Amino acid sequence: MKKINIDGRVIGPDQPPYIIAELSANHNGQLETALKIIEEAKRAGADAIKLQTYRPDTITLNSDLPDFQITNGLWKGRTLYELYEWAHTPWEWHQALFEHARKLGITIFSSPFDTTAVDLLEDLNAPAYKIASFEAVDLPLIEYVARTGKPMIISTGMADAEEIQEAIDAARGAGCEQLAILHCVSGYPAPPEDYNLRTIPDMIERFGLVTGLSDHTIDNTTAITSVALGASLIEKHFTLDRNGGGPDDSFSLEPAELAALCRDAKTAWQALGKVDYGRKSSEQGNVKFRRSLYFVEDLNVGDVINHDSVRSVRPGYGMPPKFLEKIIGKKVKNNVIKHSVVKREDIDEC
Paired strand residues for 107:
48
Q: How confident is the model at residue 283 (pLDDT cuts 50, 70, 90)?
A: confident
Q: What is the DSSP string of 22-72?
A: E-TTTTTT-HHHHHHHHHHHHHHT-SEEEEEE--HHHHS-S--SGGGB--S
112, containing H or E segment: strand 107-112
Cα-atom radius of gyration of the chain, to the nearest Å?
30
CB 222 within 8 A of CB 194: no
Burial class (CB in 10 A: 0-12, 13-18, 19+), 180: buried
The fraction of the chain above a pLDDT of 70, given in percent, is 99
Window from 87-91, 92-96, 243-247 with minimum mean pLDDT: 243-247
CB 202 within 8 A of CB 160: no
Q: What does the pLDDT average to over 221-240?
A: 97
Question: Quick one: pLDDT at residue 162?
Answer: 98
pLDDT of 315 > 80? The answer is yes
What is the rounded CA–CA span in Å between residue 234 and residue 253? Answer: 13
Coil, strand or helix at 139: helix
**Residue of 285 and 232 predicted with greater confidence:** 232
What is the rounded CA–CA span in Å between residue 73 and residue 244? Answer: 18
What is the rounded CA–CA span in Å between residue 176 and residue 170? Answer: 9
What is the rounded CA–CA span in Å between residue 336 and residue 138? Answer: 82
Mean pLDDT of the chain, nearest integer:
95
Q: What does the pLDDT average to over 104-132?
A: 98
pLDDT of 287 > 90? The answer is no
What is the rounded CA–CA span in Å between residue 86 and residue 247? Answer: 8
Matching CATH topology for 6-272 and 281-346? Answer: no
CB 59 within 8 A of CB 84: yes
Question: Quick one: pLDDT at residue 310?
Answer: 97
Q: What is the DSSP letter of 17?
A: P
Topology of the domain comprising 6-272: TIM Barrel (3.20.20)
Dihedral of CA atoms 48, 203, 185, 93 in degrees, nearest 10, equals: 30
Alpha carbon distances (Å) from 35 to 51, 95, 118, 124, 301: 12, 12, 22, 17, 82
Alpha carbon distances (Å) from 252 to 23, 25, 39, 89: 9, 10, 16, 17
Domain ranges of the chain: 6-272, 281-346
The letter for the amino acid at 94 is: H
Assessment of whether the complete model's pTM goes beyond 0.85: yes
pLDDT of 249 > 90? The answer is no
Q: What does the pLDDT average to over 81-106?
A: 96
- Residue 201, preceding peptide bond in cis (omega within 30° of 0): no
pLDDT, one tens digit per residue, over 130-158 is 999 999 999 999 999 999 999 999 999 99
Helix intervals (H) in the chain: 31-44, 56-59, 80-87, 94-104, 115-123, 139-146, 161-173, 199-207, 221-228, 255-272, 324-327
What is the rounded CA–CA span in Å between residue 95 and residue 130? Answer: 18
pLDDT of 289 > 80? The answer is yes
How big is the CA angle at 97 (ends 95 and 102), to the nearest 5 degrees? 95
Question: Quick one: pLDDT at residue 85?
Answer: 92
Phi-psi region of 213 (alpha: psi -120 to 50; beta: other; left: phi over 0): beta
Question: Quick one: pLDDT at residue 343?
Answer: 95
pLDDT, one tens digit per residue, over 184-217 is 999 889 999 999 999 999 999 999 999 999 999 9
Topology of the domain comprising 281-346: Type Iii Antifreeze Protein Isoform Hplc 12 (3.90.1210)
Q: How confident is the model at residue 1 (pLDDT cuts 50, 70, 90)?
A: low
Instruction: Please state the φ and ψ torsions of residue 290, each to the nearest 5 degrees.
Output: -85, 165
Window from 39-53, 154-168, 235-249 with minimum mean pLDDT: 235-249
Q: What share of the chain is helix, strand, coil (3-state, %, to 5)?
A: 40, 20, 40
Q: How confident is the model at residue 260 (pLDDT cuts 50, 70, 90)?
A: very high
pLDDT of 110 > 70? The answer is yes
Question: Quick one: pLDDT at residue 136?
Answer: 97
Q: What does the pLDDT average to over 34-47?
A: 98
Cα Dmax for the chain: 102
Paired strand residues for 341:
294
